[in-house]
Amino acid sequence: MKTFGELIAEGRKRAQLTQRELAARIKMEDGRPISAPYLNDLEHNLRHPPRGHLIDQFAKELELEVDLLYFAAKRMPRDIEPVDASEDEVLAAYRAFRKELKTKGKKR
């Protein structure tokens, strides 16, 4: 599995954008764009992956699967609210996830 930074870098190159161009399109909560040096650090895994607000924008701008970016960032997607789930539902979801990964791993 690729890192968050690798996914972003590959997506940016596929979109034929410079770091400066992509950084100008990704806005923080206050509307200011992220900086090109920050994006460079993300792409080289020198910073922790960003919050969900930025992950959603990266997915949209680079036409990447948002769930893949959340997984690579080791974050919970913003549309999943853990407080809404029971303990049994959480356990069932994680067990299904593990089962799917193990099943796919055997087919490779």
* Domain topology for 4-78: 434 Repressor (Amino-terminal Domain) (1.10.260)
Structure confidence by residue, pLDDT tens digits, 24-50: 999 999 999 999 999 999 999 999 999
* Entry pTM: 0.87
Structure confidence by residue, pLDDT tens digits, 61-73: 999 999 999 999 9
* Secondary structure class of 79 (helix, strand, coil): coil
Looking only at Cα atoms, what is the longest distance across the chain? Answer: 46
So where are the chain's domains?
4-78
* Secondary structure class of 74 (helix, strand, coil): coil
